[in-house]
Amino acid sequence: MKGTLYSLALGLGAAAASPFIAARLARPPKRAATLARLGLGPLAQPPALPAGGIWLHALSVGETISALPLVRGLRERFKGKPIAFSCGTGQGLATVREKLGHQVDAAFIRPLEMPWAVRPVLNDLRPGLAILVEGDLWPGWQWALAERGVPRMLVNGRVSPRTLKGYRRLGPLARELWRGFDLVLVQTATDRERLLSVGVNPRKVQVGGNLKFDSAPADLDEAQRSALAEELGLAGRTVLVAGSTHAGEEEPCLEAYERLKERVPGLALLIAPRELERGGAVARLAQERGLRAARLSQGPAPEDAQVVILDMLGQLAAAYALGAASFVGGSLVPVGGHNLLEPAAQGVPVVFGPITHNFLEMARDLEAAGGGRRIETGAELAGVWGELLEHPAKARTMGRAAREFVSAHHGAVDRAVAAAARLLEGGHG
């Protein structure tokens, strides 16, 4: 009965969203991924795999990157088992193919719970364990896996204040959503308490740590930094890096750069918008201020470029290594912040805004460790960046503290792999 009612609600929701779906289908870059989310086209259909393997699902690029070391850990532990990896976006799938390649036996876009899509996917995968990374919870998939007796596990779970409010509004429906998991590994004790407060079974919720600590890239050595700077057209220059920015955040970054560029000869601002397609808009913002802008998607930056837009997939984590200081976006606008560990892992001072509920404890602890600085408004960015440029010894100390903070928090992958082994060996219920 619940499945029928849910299918009816899903159908009504799809009908209401049809204008949005039609708009995405009309855009060639989005068409294949949108069709796949509807359960149509080759991207939505994995190859047939031997039974008993592991299926991981991550919504988009950020979650996929978090899961990279987990996939490697699972591959090492379960050498004979097939591993499938699905995403909810085209960019996520591109990241899987680029970063994991031969380490997964199938990579595809998981459809929404369309009646014609669920059964064929599960018939081809025949998983022995399903692992969800962070979110993208859909009850239909949970029910379908439960019908086949497949244990379900969530890793890297987090519950933001906004998400918690949503769960409280849903009431029993929220408990039903989480009841489908045999085990939930959340990032922090705060996340666990929030799930318990909405009635999730405490025996199923454990603190597993944050996979992002284990997925943080190794810091580049001097030769690698020099090669990357040469490749991007930034060799020999002092660089400020603003990563994962959203509309409303580029303006403070550009304003800070304008105030600092005369004080530091050859200073460059590298901006990486969260949505790559906004590269042109960011370039126009810089040009409207009379700044010379270059988009790296169109080639290396010319020597006279002042603002360089990193509008290419998969480059930001390494590009942070070029920074004398950084700013991580999603934190001056109500998004909740993005991954602070990428600049921290490169030993670069990390500046972020006041809105960090996506990484609440990480932001707090990084600041307490001396590797991060929180600003309350965009107007403060120029002051903090200027201080770090003027006092390089202070910047080095802050960067070293950031790198040590990342190193001290490794271990989430080992805990997740051990939990996966227990479930595969029949320890669920």
pLDDT tens profile 74-101: 999 999 899 999 999 998 999 999 988 8
Q: For residues 255 and 378, what is the distance between their CA atoms, to the nearest angstrom?
A: 9
Q: Indicate if the pLDDT at residue 152 is higher than 90.
A: yes
- Structure letter (DSSP) for residue 217: P
The confidence band for 429, taking pLDDT boundaries of 50, 70 and 90, is very low
The Cα 113–Cα 389 span in angstroms is 51
Q: What is the pLDDT of residues 362-388, one digit of tens each?
A: 999 999 999 999 999 999 999 999 999
* C-alpha distances in Å from residue 388, one per residue of 50, 324, 326, 339: 55, 8, 10, 21
Q: Same CATH topology for 2-215+411-424 and 222-407?
A: yes
The predicted-structure confidence for 101-142, as pLDDT tens digits, reads as follows 889 999 999 998 888 889 999 999 999 999 999 988 888 899
Segment 48-58 shows an average pLDDT of: 96
Question: So what's the pLDDT on residue 123?
Answer: 96
Radius of gyration of the chain (CA): 22
pLDDT digits (tens, 9 = 90+) for 277-330: 999 999 999 999 999 999 999 999 999 999 999 999 889 999 999 999 999 999
How would you label 324-351 residue by residue, b for 16+ Cβ within 10 Å and e otherwise? Answer: bbbbbbbbbbebbbbbbbbbbbbbbbbb
Beta carbons within 8 Å of 426's beta carbon, 6+ residues apart: none
Asked whether the beta carbons of 346 and 220 are under 8 A apart, the reply is yes
Predicted confidence at residue 8, as pLDDT, reads 53
Return d(Cα 223, Cα 401) in angstroms, integer. 22
Kindly state the average pLDDT of the residues 341-366.
94
| SS3 at position 216 | coil
Q: Hey, where are the domains in the chain?
A: 2-215+411-424, 222-407
CA separation for the pair 261, 249 (Å, rounded): 19
The predicted-structure confidence for 227-266, as pLDDT tens digits, reads as follows 999 999 999 999 999 999 999 999 999 999 999 999 999 9
- Residues designated catalytic: 63
Looking at the chain, the whole-number percentage of residues with pLDDT higher than 70 is 92
Confidence band, pLDDT 50/70/90 cuts, at residue 62: confident
CATH class of 2-215+411-424: alpha beta
Enter the pTM of the model.
0.72
Class of domain 222-407: alpha beta
